[in-house]
Amino acid sequence: MVRRVLEATTLLGPDDPSPFTLIGDGAPSPFVLIADHAGQVVPAALDQLGLPQVELDRHIGWDIGIAGTTRKLAALLEATAVLQTYSRLVIDCNRPLSAPGSIPAISDGTDIAANVAAGEAQRTQRAEEIFAPYHAAIRDQLDARAARGQPTILIAMHSFTPVFGGIIRPWHAGVLYLRDNRLAMALKPLLEADGLVVGDNQPYAVSDQTDYAIPVHGEARGLVHLELEIRQDLIADDAGQAQWAQRLANMLTSLAPGFTHA
């Protein structure tokens, strides 16, 4: 009887995976990579949010290609990375909990009826069991680095869809920022020199209302940071992910000394 009550109070069951993957715990590299939309898992209790798999597989479910790209980049940089496991349709880990899109009612034309129906208790469960431990894992890494006096360059990894709202997006990648564009403006010309079309706060711009990771983990700590968006079709397969990881590793490694000297 007690067991049944306990089960009813948690969202994640014994067969649901951890809400985050931590790679390179405490690594000496200056880079820390985070990927808020890396995963597309839905807790078993939520029954795929009532959606067909094809909806979870498209960009509304996750950032296509970014998990593989982030893992490969972390390996090349020998850096720490924290990746979210669950779909942003369950709870968006790059939205303030107060934002309307935190647990979206609709996403790119798809109604998420299970989210409209989710009561306060279930919303709190999603925040406490998915959002909170992921951000705590990032915070713990950043706290430990600060305590060691280790410089940190924070990179938030994302991907975007090549067409949105019927409009073809012209960019291969975008550098996003709010109050501190130092790393964005340093990386942008390197990407452009590689023949790429790079959005300046495109296809999205960072804001306090719509973003969580950069304002909280980057700006509030005064860390050098960047939110990077890569067009998803460029990193949809292993070869594309490897190419982008190598390109970014080369560029970021060349930029690091300018941002980490004492």
Q: Which residues sit at the interface with Zn ion, rule CB under 5 A?
A: 37, 63, 158
Q: How far is the CB of 4 from Zn ion (least distance, A)?
A: 37
Instruction: Kindly give, in sequence order, each residue whose CB lies less than 8 Å from that of residue 31, ignoring residues fewer than 6 positions away.
Output: 77, 79, 80, 152, 153, 155, 252, 256
For residue 198, what is the enclosing H or E element?
strand 198-200
Q: 158 vs 188, which CB is nearer to Zn ion? A: 158
The radius of gyration of the chain's CA atoms, rounded to the nearest angstrom, is: 18
Q: How far is the CB of 131 from Zn ion (least distance, A)?
A: 14
Instruction: Kindly give, in sequence order, each residue whose CB lies less than 8 Å from that of residue 239, ignoring residues fewer than 6 positions away.
Output: none
Q: 63 vs 211, which CB is nearer to Zn ion? A: 63
Q: 37 vs 126, which CB is nearer to Zn ion? A: 37
Q: 210 vs 253, which CB is nearer to Zn ion? A: 210
Q: 45 vs 236, which CB is nearer to Zn ion? A: 236
Q: How far is the CB of 7 from Zn ion (least distance, A)?
A: 32
In this structure, what are the phi and psi dihedrals at residue 62, rounded to the nearest 5 degrees?
A: -170, 175
Q: How far is the CB of 195 from Zn ion (least distance, A)?
A: 24
The three-class DSSP label of residue 175 is strand
Q: 37 vs 71, which CB is nearer to Zn ion? A: 37
Instruction: Kindly give, in sequence order, each residue whose CB lies less than 8 Å from that of residue 97, ignoring residues fewer than 6 positions away.
Output: 127, 131
Q: How far is the CB of 158 from Zn ion (least distance, A)?
A: 3
Residue nearest to Zn ion (CB): 158
Q: Residue with structure tokens 């715990």?
A: 25
Q: What is each CA distance from 73 to 105, 199, 221, 229, in whole angstroms? A: 33, 21, 23, 14
d(CA 110, CA 152): 38
Task: With beta carbons less than 8 A apart as the criterion, state whether 87 and 30 touch.
Answer: no
Longest distance between any two alpha carbons in the chain, whole Å: 65
Q: 145 vs 215, which CB is nearer to Zn ion? A: 215
Q: How far is the CB of 123 from Zn ion (least distance, A)?
A: 21
Q: How far is the CB of 160 from Zn ion (least distance, A)?
A: 8
The single-letter DSSP state of residue 86 is B
